[in-house]
Chains A and B, each alone.
Chain A
Amino acid sequence: MKSKLLLLSALVLFFAGAPKAGYELGADVEDFTLKNVDGKEITLSEYGEKGAIVIFDCNTCPYSKAYLERIKELDAMYAPKGYPVVAVNSNDPNKSPDDSFDKMVEYADENEYEHAYVYDADQSVAKAFGATNTPHVFIVQKNGEKLVLKYIGAIDNNTRDAEAADKKYVQDAVDALLEGKSPETAKTKAIGCTIKWAS
């Protein structure tokens, strides 16, 4: 019986492939400290005054590139209001050599990043969040000592054309949080590049 169970769980793990578990909406998010492209360590709970817009991102994904300007704008808009962007690159540099820490530093410099761009070297943060693709957004709100997950999903509803997006999920969610409300749309999905997991 035990061996059958073991076999079953092995099968489940095998078919599950990339890690899928992750925080549910409303969950307490475990704090993390990761190295930023400027060489300093960033601790999530200490970074934003009210919370943060955590975005799993990378140098190489065309969809990340399509959202690059919009991600910079989100930081410009919401960092002063207490919700800065923390972009997290979790791609394994063996699978995706252009996503190494050195390349991140270059990329952030070329693209004049004002926002944090941190390196999740052991992929533990992506696994904890249940991030699957890039760009993949998780908005957290500070509640005393706690960090609470308030939104999971896409930036808006038009990857190709920012002007044509008529649902700005992340903006709407942060605006709601700033007004002391819960986001009306708290979970969305979008196509993205799969996070390149180390094997």
Chain B
Amino acid sequence: MKYILAVLLTITSFISFSQSVKVIQVDELVALVNSDKEKIQVINFWATWCGPCIKELPFIEEVAESMKSQVDVQLITVDFVDDLTKVEKFVERKQLKSNVYLIDNVDYNSWIDKVDERWSGAIPATVVINPVSGDRRFVERELKEGELESIIEELL
């Protein structure tokens, strides 16, 4: 019986739901950054090839789960659109539950300032916004465990 349960658990963990990846353009990205939702918006820029980004992803996913009544998390990859399948496989393998987007625009200079003028262009980069108060925080480096929670607490 125990054995069957273990097998069942293993199978369900393999087929459990993870996000698909939505390809977006700059106007959709701008809409995400300027969301009029009530929840705190966490917008994280990453890529499958970016080591520090991958290290901080579990911390972000943890917050998305533990604070989900107060926070929306959007993960935006800057991987090239040619690598969409690679990104989808990554999302599947890491079982990412947050919304995952791929920004399909490599003319970075045309949109980096629309996300945040403080952003130099390095990733990882994370914007945390309280759409109601308009307060926002910007972090252009790897988030440490617990750091995102404190930033969100400040904005709540």
Interface residues of A (CB under 8 A from B): 15, 17-18, 20, 62, 132-133, 136, 153-154, 157-161, 167, 169, 188-195
Q: Are A193 and B108 in contact (CB under 8 A)?
A: no
- Write the chain B residue with the least CB distance to A134: B122
A39 to B10, CA, bound (A): 55
A161 to B80, CA, bound (A): 10
Q: Does B112 contact A (CB under 8 A)?
A: yes
Q: Are B109 and A154 in contact (CB under 8 A)?
A: yes
The bracket for how many chain B residues form the interface is: 20 to 34
What residues of A have a CB within 8 angstroms of the CB of B113 in the complex?
A: 189
A158 to B107, CA, bound (A): 6
Q: Known contacts A191-B121, A191-B123, A193-B122; decide if A159 and B106 are in contact (CB<8 Å).
A: yes
Q: Does B27 contact A (CB under 8 A)?
A: no
Least CB distance from B124 to A in Å reads 7
Least CB distance from A14 to B in Å reads 10
Given A17, A159, A167, which contacts B141 in the complex, CB threshold below 8 Å? Answer: A17
A153 to B50, CA, bound (A): 20
Q: Are A188 and B109 in contact (CB under 8 A)?
A: yes
Least CB distance from A144 to B in Å reads 31
Interface residues of B (CB under 8 A from A): 45, 47, 49-50, 52, 78, 80, 82, 106-110, 112-113, 119-124, 139-142
Least CB distance from B132 to A in Å reads 22
What residues of B have a CB within 8 angstroms of the CB of A169 in the complex?
A: 109
What residues of B have a CB within 8 angstroms of the CB of A189 in the complex?
A: 108-109, 112-113, 119-121
- Write the chain A residue with the least CB distance to B48: A62
Q: Are B106 and A194 in contact (CB under 8 A)?
A: no
Q: 25 A–B contact pairs at CB < 8 A?
A: A15-B139, A17-B140, A18-B140, A20-B120, A132-B140, A133-B121, A136-B121, A154-B108, A157-B108, A157-B109, A159-B80, A159-B108, A160-B106, A161-B106, A189-B112, A189-B119, A189-B120, A190-B109, A190-B121, A191-B112, A192-B121, A192-B123, A194-B123, A194-B142, A195-B122
Given A153, A194, A195, which contacts B124 in the complex, CB threshold below 8 Å? Answer: A194
- Write the chain A residue with the least CB distance to B107: A157
Least CB distance from B52 to A in Å reads 6
A192 to B123, CA, bound (A): 7
What residues of B have a CB within 8 angstroms of the CB of A192 in the complex?
A: 121-123
A12 to B139, CA, bound (A): 12
Given B80, B107, B110, B122, which contacts A133 in the complex, CB threshold below 8 Å? Answer: B122
Q: Are B122 and A132 in contact (CB under 8 A)?
A: yes
What residues of B have a CB within 8 angstroms of the CB of A136 in the complex?
A: 121
What residues of B have a CB within 8 angstroms of the CB of A191 in the complex?
A: 45, 78, 108, 112, 121-123
Q: Are A194 and B78 in contact (CB under 8 A)?
A: no
A181 to B50, CA, bound (A): 38
A169 to B108, CA, bound (A): 13
